[in-house]
Structure 1
Amino acid sequence: METILRRYARLILSTQLKLERGDSLSINTEGTFMEFARLLAKVACEMTLQVVNIVETNHGKVVQVLQIDPVEPEIFRPETKGFVMCHLFGLDDTPYRGEEEPSSLANNVGLLGSFGLLSEPVFLDRRIAVPWANLPLPGPEWAMQLLGSTATETEMWNLFATLFRLEDDNGPVFWDSQANVLHFRKQKLNKLGPLALTVTGSGWTITTNMARDTLWAGGMHTVSSGRKFIPALPMQQVFTSLECTKTEGTISSSRPFLLLGKTVEEAMFTIEGGKVTSYTAVKGKEALDAFFSIDEGSRQVAELSLADDDTLESRYLEKGVHVHFNKAMTSHIVFGGFNLATLTTQNSSEAIEASRLSLSLVRLEVPVGSNSLSVQARDKEGNETLLMEEGVFID
């Protein structure tokens, strides 16, 4: 486990945050993960020759700020070049299954946040201008959801290492290569301009449009200074916002997924005018009832997220358990609030309305990826391009 953690620390700093000499790193963490935070800070000090701050919190409230100093005397340290942030969180911080009725949970914003269902706040004038990353650490509850109730600590760490490619020292090379693949896909898709999309799965089809003045996003991010970083690993997906009144057809979930403590299986949704008008589920319909009652926007189709079906994530994550991994697991249709990463020039609520973006307090990611998924695009001149066939991108 110690070897895995050291590789993870190197992956975070060199590949995700792309830490440079002179960078000032701030690590936000609950006390539970202080040992790993100290390891991360030690390695960061060696890379940056700068003081690293560890901000310890308790349920979001700051407990203390620790300064970890590099071994070099201050006179030999470089000037501060930039600021970088990261947040450690436990995969067991998310509640999984529960006995409470979903309808009672849906009325509590704090609980919605703990389930990972809240949309991003739409603050158009407060974009983060520094590299940052959300960094998960595994726990037994997370492992049991995927490996069964008898999962051991060794099995838990083996699964985590597999997902992050930490079995050897080649993880950074793999993720740098994957970042290039996703960058190429985004470039190709964005060159096509605004698209009308036809998405077809096993026994279902929807037609939809990209939202006005939005782009495909995913993978590597770039801040205003030009610095690049990866906010979350693993990454397999690119995604785009959809015009909230244009989606028509039906979709079916391709895998079970957790919602408000309940497992939802074989869900089917009928969509008219961009909104879910009816739905069924073999299991967990009460959770869907509760979700769609939260606000009017929760029924709107907000986003299409595409990931290759035959990936390591797709094979090891057979069901949607934790929102951190969902989009890398397979392709998704998202109901509720849009993702700010797809915006271009929108700087006001009027611009958001003009782009016909879906607004809601919450977001629900429904897995639809399979080896039968295809995506056909049509540009404004009427030219058609097949983007995905049999669940795999046509690069």
Structure 2
Amino acid sequence: MTQESTSHLVERYADLLLRVGVNLRAGQDVLLTAEVEHVELARELTRQAYRKGARWVEVAYADQHLRRALIDLAPEDALGHSPAGWLATLEDLGRRRGALIQLVDDGSPEVLAGADPVRAGRAQMIERGRLSKRLTLEKRLCNWLVAGCATPSWAERVLGRPDVEELWRLLARTVRLDAEDPIAAWREHSARLAERARQLSERAFAGIRFNGPGTDLFVGLTPGSRWLGGGGQTSWGLDFIPNLPTEEVFTCPDKRLTQGVVTATQPLVLDGSLIVGLCLRFEAGRTVEATAGRGAELIQQRMSLDADACRLGEVALVDSESRVGQAGHLFWNTLYDENAACHIAFGSGFPDLVPQAEREAALSRSSIHTDFMIGGPEVQVFGLERGGNEVPVIRDNRFQL
């Protein structure tokens, strides 16, 4: 692939993110968060956003080398600090019904390698995270998007060589840029996920059970809870797709009801550290034991951040039709890897998916939301009907409903 064709791919990718993902409307403000390595895509998104009618585009660059300095050298009380300017920017974006876009890669683990895992876990802008969740998930004031950006470091991790052009080609396939009409392909794919979510909502299962090697887990659901897939909608009626790629249908568990043992089927990268062989045991909704072959202390620290950090906030189903799964690579990034297989997340849940009357008791409210993968060809998924019968939902990695 020549440099010119790479640039053309980036242009088409940026167009897809703005038209299909965030579904930018004329007159909107845009807040784009990116790493310094994402500058080429950030510039292209900015140019195209203005061409599509954006009122203002603000780009906030981060640098993992600066975060490493914070972890290693900052005073203890600064690790979770959220600058007032950041909070004011987010509040203004919500008032203006703006769009929020976040670019991600593999997290530069080589930069954070060897950092104190406990301090790394605490080095989060906690209040900024809470405010972002209020604006996007709770009040739904902003259309938002998380999407990947190819970098040499990420290419090295995924492909074994720093071939950014090949990684761009791989990412393009996961978001259907190889289709003759990517926009139409996304309409079809989104409708298919929405139909799966509708079927699951209508079945009104009491819970979902996962059974496989090292896993026998029951995830209880609140009566009247909804499943979602294929996209979201702002409080003012704008449809958008918050994750590109997306292959999941998901709902919010009842935080009191998860029971059993679950073993991760893929590694988890958290704050630049690799978590391998993660295994959690739940009783009455709480994680009562968290072990791992590597990185257990980081999971334990993350789960201790607040009262609900050790409870489940999401259960998501993905089968072998996934473009990400078909790519045959571990992407070392949760946005991608969670869309290769069924997954759960400990931490915050989704208020809109739980009936209003049940939210106080059933909804997990936390400053974190951490996904990890628990599905695959050897893991069978069942829906438990309220009468006690079990219905196959995913068998041999294919949806059955």
Question: What is the TM-score normalised by the length of structure 2?
Answer: 0.78
1:262 counterpart (273, 279, 301): 273
- Could you list the per-position Cα deviations for residues 298-355 of structure 1 after superposition, in whole angstroms to 9, with x for gaps in the alignment? 2223321111145331243644622322431211122222134524436xxxx5323x
Match of 1:372 in 2: 378
Preserved CA contact (<8 Å) 1:297 1:337? yes
CA distance in 1, matches of 2:389, 2:104: 46
Instruction: Give runs of aligned pairs for residues 94-243 of structure 1, distance below 5 A.
Output: 97-110=112-125, 121=133, 127-129=139-141, 131-148=143-160, 150-167=161-178, 169-243=180-254
Instruction: Give runs of aligned pairs for residues 348-359 of structure 1, distance below 5 A.
Output: 352-354=359-361, 356-359=362-365
Instruction: Give runs of aligned pairs for residues 217-366 of structure 1, distance below 5 A.
Output: 217-309=228-320, 311-316=322-327, 318-319=329-330, 321-345=332-356, 352-354=359-361, 356-366=362-372
- Which stretch has the larger CA shift, 375-384 or 325-334? 375-384
Q: CA RMSD in A?
A: 3.4
Q: State the 1:126 CA deviation.
A: 6.0
Preserved CA contact (<8 Å) 1:256 1:320? no
Preserved CA contact (<8 Å) 1:246 1:273? yes
CA distance in 1, matches of 2:22, 2:123: 34
Shift of the 289–88 alpha-carbon distance from structure 1 to 2, 3 Å rule, reads closer
Preserved CA contact (<8 Å) 1:302 1:357? yes
Preserved CA contact (<8 Å) 2:109 2:273? no
Preserved CA contact (<8 Å) 2:342 2:375? yes
Question: SS of the residue aligned with 2:99?
Answer: strand
Q: Which amino acid aligns with 1:264?
A: I
CA distance in 1, matches of 2:359, 2:57: 37
Preserved CA contact (<8 Å) 1:37 1:54? no
Matched residues, percent identical? 21
Preserved CA contact (<8 Å) 2:196 2:229? no
Q: Which amino acid aligns with 2:56?
A: N
CA distance in 1, matches of 2:33, 2:306: 32
Shift of the 118–331 alpha-carbon distance from structure 1 to 2, 3 Å rule, reads farther
Q: State the 1:194 CA deviation.
A: 4.9
Q: Which amino acid aligns with 1:339?
A: F
- Could you list the per-position Cα deviations for residues 248-298 of structure 1 after superposition, in whole angstroms to 9, with x for gaps in the alignment? 111111111112332222222222211222233222223233323333422
Match of 1:71 in 2: none
Preserved CA contact (<8 Å) 1:240 1:342? yes
Q: Which amino acid aligns with 2:115?
A: E
Q: State the 1:182 CA deviation.
A: 0.6
CA distance in 2, matches of 1:341, 1:90: 26
Aligned residues: 364
Preserved CA contact (<8 Å) 1:119 1:363? no
Preserved CA contact (<8 Å) 1:41 1:52? no
Shift of the 124–329 alpha-carbon distance from structure 1 to 2, 3 Å rule, reads closer
Q: Which amino acid aligns with 1:327?
A: E
Match of 2:12 in 1: 7
Question: SS of the residue aligned with 1:242?
Answer: coil
CA distance in 2, matches of 1:165, 1:8: 10
- Could you list the per-position Cα deviations for residues 28-58 of structure 1 after superposition, in whole angstroms to 9, with x for gaps in the alignment? 2368556545544554566x5x454222335
CA distance in 1, matches of 2:342, 2:252: 14
Shift of the 352–42 alpha-carbon distance from structure 1 to 2, 3 Å rule, reads same
Q: State the 1:236 CA deviation.
A: 0.4
1:53 aligns with 2:24: no
Shift of the 263–18 alpha-carbon distance from structure 1 to 2, 3 Å rule, reads closer
CA distance in 1, matches of 2:264, 2:133: 27
Q: State the 1:125 CA deviation.
A: 10
Q: State the 1:189 CA deviation.
A: 0.9
Q: Which amino acid aligns with 1:27?
A: V
Q: Which amino acid aligns with 1:133?
A: L
Q: Which amino acid aligns with 1:85?
A: A
Shift of the 289–222 alpha-carbon distance from structure 1 to 2, 3 Å rule, reads closer
- Which stretch has the larger CA shift, 118-127 or 255-264? 118-127
Larger radius of gyration: 1
Preserved CA contact (<8 Å) 2:106 2:333? no
Question: SS of the residue aligned with 1:298?
Answer: coil
